[in-house]
């Protein structure tokens, strides 16, 4: 059997198809990482330049802040509140049995301030705002609206990326503060209903587990969450191609990458400040 015949048979095998798929996925992974790094540097540089030259587009930023925070607040409060209730309903009765009624609030404060509020809020923002950013910019890409911006000498990074990234960086800590406070209130109500924990014990014990360090770390982490969600979503949309199918793929990629980014950023902050 000739060499060319062997190659032809191998190309028709499942092993070749699997190897080709893995190679394409690996190449796409590194290309996406590289593009995100480039866009991040461009956003930082152009944002600093706009601040120092007084050319920051504040109207666009305010519009995106409203969209990022106000429009997504109901779903964020719902998710954080429900998760807080579920955790409190399971933890409170067990702690009461062990004589730890006075520490339920402290436990919920630590869980919510360090992880629950920021991470659950990030997941809610990804689902609603991140996917919206990606599909919006991907549609502009496949319909050549971004090319039209370039023809008009409008920098797409300044016009599309910077307002969204700055809005995410500014508003995500605000969302986390509001959602965490709401989550602690919901957890207190759930503890009272499920284990008859007094409101006074719950509120007074909140301060036993809540420290300034936890709050500051959470605010810094949430700001990074917001900026990362915006950059990843905008980048995935910016790289879209192939019509309607490309828009769907870029939106899916933006959501998946944003979830991964939040987990990685959360791990980095936990290692630096709490390990």
- Report d(CA 176, CA 116) in Å as an integer: 9
For 140-152, what is each residue's pLDDT tens digit?
999 989 989 888 8
Q: Is 97 exposed, middle or buried (0-12, 13-18, 19+ CB in 10 A)?
A: exposed
Whether 9 has a pLDDT exceeding 70, the answer reads: no
- The pLDDT, as a whole number, for residue 1 is 56
> Average pLDDT in the 158-172 region?
92
* Mean pLDDT of the residues in the chain: 87
- The pLDDT, as a whole number, for residue 239 is 87
- Report d(CA 19, CA 9) in Å as an integer: 15
For 93-112, what is each residue's pLDDT tens digit?
888 888 888 888 888 998 88
- Report d(CA 224, CA 172) in Å as an integer: 8
Report which of 42, 59, 48, 30 is spatially closest to residue 161, judged by C-alpha positions.
42
8 Å CB contact between 107 and 207? no
> Average pLDDT in the 204-223 region?
88
- Report d(CA 130, CA 10) in Å as an integer: 41
| pTM of the entire predicted model | 0.88
Question: What b-and-e string marks burial along 55-86, b requiring 16 or more CB atoms within 10 Å of the CB?
Answer: ebeeebbeebbebbbeebbeebbebbbebbbe
Q: How confident is the model at residue 129 (pLDDT cuts 50, 70, 90)?
A: very high
- Work out the percent of the chain whose per-residue pLDDT is above 90: 42
8 Å CB contact between 226 and 169? yes
Report which of 138, 160, 209 is spatially closest to residue 180, judged by C-alpha positions.
209
Whether 4 has a pLDDT exceeding 80, the answer reads: no
> Average pLDDT in the 169-196 region?
92
- The pLDDT, as a whole number, for residue 226 is 94
- The pLDDT, as a whole number, for residue 161 is 92
């Amino acid at each position: 059997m000739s060499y060319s015949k062997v190659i032809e048979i191998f190309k028709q095998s499942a092993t070749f198809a699997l190897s080709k798929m893995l190679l394409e996925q690996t190449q796409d992974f590194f290309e996406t990482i590289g593009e995100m790094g480039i866009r991040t540097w461009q956003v930082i540089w152009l944002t600093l330049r706009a601040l120092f030259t007084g050319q920051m587009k504040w109207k666009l930023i305010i519009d995106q802040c409203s969209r990022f925070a106000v429009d997504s607040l109901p779903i964020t409060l719902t998710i954080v509140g429900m998760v807080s209730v579920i955790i409190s309903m399971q933890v409170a009765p067990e702690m009461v049995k062990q004589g730890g009624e006075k520490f339920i609030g402290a436990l919920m404060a630590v869980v919510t301030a360090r992880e629950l509020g920021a991470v659950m809020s990030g997941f809610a923002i990804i689902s609603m705002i991140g996917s919206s950013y990606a599909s919006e910019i991907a549609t502009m890409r496949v319909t050549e609206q971004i090319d039209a911006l370039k023809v008009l000498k409008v920098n797409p990074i300044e016009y599309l990326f910077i307002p969204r990234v700055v809005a995410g960086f500014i508003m995500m800590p605000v969302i986390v503060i509001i959602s965490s406070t709401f989550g602690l209130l919901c957890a207190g109500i759930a503890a009272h209903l499920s284990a008859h924990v007094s409101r006074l014990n719950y509120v007074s014990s909140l301060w036993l587990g809540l420290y300034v360090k936890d709050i500051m770390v959470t605010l810094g982490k949430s700001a990074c969450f917001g900026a990362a969600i915006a950059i990843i979503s905008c980048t995935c949309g910016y790289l879209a191609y192939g019509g309607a199918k490309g828009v769907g793929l870029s939106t899916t990629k933006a959501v998946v990458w944003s979830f991964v980014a939040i987990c990685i950023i959360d791990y980095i902050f936990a290692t630096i400040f709490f390990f």
